[in-house]
Amino acid sequence: MPEPTPLTPNQHRAADLLGRNWTIKKVAAEVGKSEKQIGRWKERDDFAALVKEKRDALLSKIPSAKATLESALYATTPKGEPDWPVRVKAAQLLMTTADPEGLPGPGEDTRPTLIFVSPEEDDASAAADAR
């Protein structure tokens, strides 16, 4: 079987656009070819590999959902103050997607334990410990 001809500049451009999730219709219009022609190009192994390479390169630059949520834990308002609603929502979403190995098993107590320490109690216990 003869070697396939090298990809043309138009095919490289089409692969790049497909890797960016453009529709076949838009890609065809951009490179001046028919949608049918773009479909035939997609059947080529080398073209399909180039589309995948372009898509993978693009995806590697996009932060993961987890990284985005972790960044949101430090969200601030335009005034520079903590944006608590955003921070709390990010924490909730991170907890719902947590590793199930760290979650309680069936029958285990899942009620939250809240501990409140007033500043006065904290200072008094520190003073008592110092004596």
Closest listed residue to residue 90, CA positions, set 73, 67, 65, 66? 73
Phi, psi of 2 (to 5 degrees): -70, 150
Q: What would the pLDDT profile of 30-88 be if each residue is shown by its tens digit?
A: 999 999 999 999 999 999 999 999 998 888 887 888 888 888 899 998 888 999 999 99
Residue at 86 is within a domain: yes
Q: Is 69 inside a domain boundary?
A: yes
| Stretch (H or E) spanning 13 | helix 9-19
User: 86: domain range?
Assistant: 63-99
d(CA 129, CA 123): 10
* 37 and 73 inside one domain: no
Residues 51 and 24 in one domain: yes
Question: How many structural domains comprise the chain?
Answer: 2
Same domain, 24 and 55: yes
Q: Find how far residue 116's CA is from the centre of its chain.
A: 35
Q: Are residues 49 and 27 in the same domain?
A: yes
26 and 56: one domain?
yes
pLDDT for the residue numbered 18: 95
| pLDDT at residue 67, as a whole number | 84
Both 38 and 69 in one domain: the answer is: no
Is 125 contained in some domain? no
Q: Considering the domain boundaries, does residue 16 fall inside one?
A: yes
Read out DSSP for 48-78? HHHHHHHHHHHHHTSPPHHHHHHHHTT-B-T
Q: 35 with 14, same domain?
A: yes
82 backbone dihedrals φ, ψ, rounded to 5°: -60, 135
Q: Which of 2-11, 77-86, 121-130 has the lowest mean pLDDT?
A: 121-130
- Residue 15: per-residue pLDDT: 96
